Amino acid sequence: MQNSFFKTIRNSIKNWYIPLIIGILLILLGFYTLTTPIESFLVLTLIFSWSFIISGLLEIIFAIQNKDEIEGWGWYLTGGILYTLFGILLLSNPGVSALSLTFIVGFYVMFRSIQLMSFSFDLKNYGSKNWGWVTVWAVLGLIFSFILLWNPAFAGLSLVIWTGMAIIAIGFSACFLAFQLKGIKNAHKHMSEEWKAKYQSLKDEYYKHRG
């Protein structure tokens, strides 16, 4: 991660609002899930399918456009491809059972939570002050994903409730990530070209002596 901040100094982050769109989509999906009876999981499966596909495609676009700006852009790309595949898998099996859907959502939330935790540490390296909030919501998502995968009946709560809370947690984490990326973009905008050149010179000198 040592080059992360240096890359951001030279290049401004593009389309920071894409993670925000994904986050809002997931939060709405989570709240909708909480109000959906388990008997309606067929409809919910279709909604999850398209939500995963849309968020996956958006993440692929974000990754490609920021491959020169963000050190961990490969995580975005991998995640986007995986989420799109999750959506296609669900779409091709609309009759999937509630339990099977729960496992698919559990793996989806687990991977996205780990992904968001990685991004939060990148934000820390970038100098973002509120990177911890991304971590907090990502950790909550990870906990909920473990519950969905290993004990969905934990504490007597239904599959619907655990699924909804898991999706909402990673949705909030994605929203916090977006606003932190916006802050980095704004900070970059206010840096003078002279300052960036000096910083680049210092970086080159540092790695030269480091060997």
Q: Read off the tokens for 156.
A: 């007597």
Confidence of residue 153 (pLDDT cuts 50, 70, 90): low
Q: Say what the pLDDT of residue 17 is.
A: 83
Express the helix, strand and coil content of the chain in percent, nearest 5 each: 80, 0, 20
pLDDT tens column, 46-86: 888 888 899 889 889 888 887 776 666 777 788 889 889 88
Q: Is 118 or 56 the better-scoring residue by pLDDT?
A: 56
Domain ranges of the chain: 4-210
More confident residue, 207 or 50: 50
Chain segment 156-184, per-residue pLDDT in tens: 457 778 888 889 998 998 898 888 878 77
Long-range contacts of residues 145-153, Cβ cutoff 8 Å, at least 24 apart: 145/106, 145/107, 145/109, 145/110, 145/113, 146/106, 146/110, 148/102, 148/103, 148/105, 148/106, 148/109, 149/103, 149/106, 149/107, 149/110, 152/99, 152/102
pTM of the entire predicted model: 0.70
Angle at 178 between CA 72 and CA 66, to 5 degrees: 40
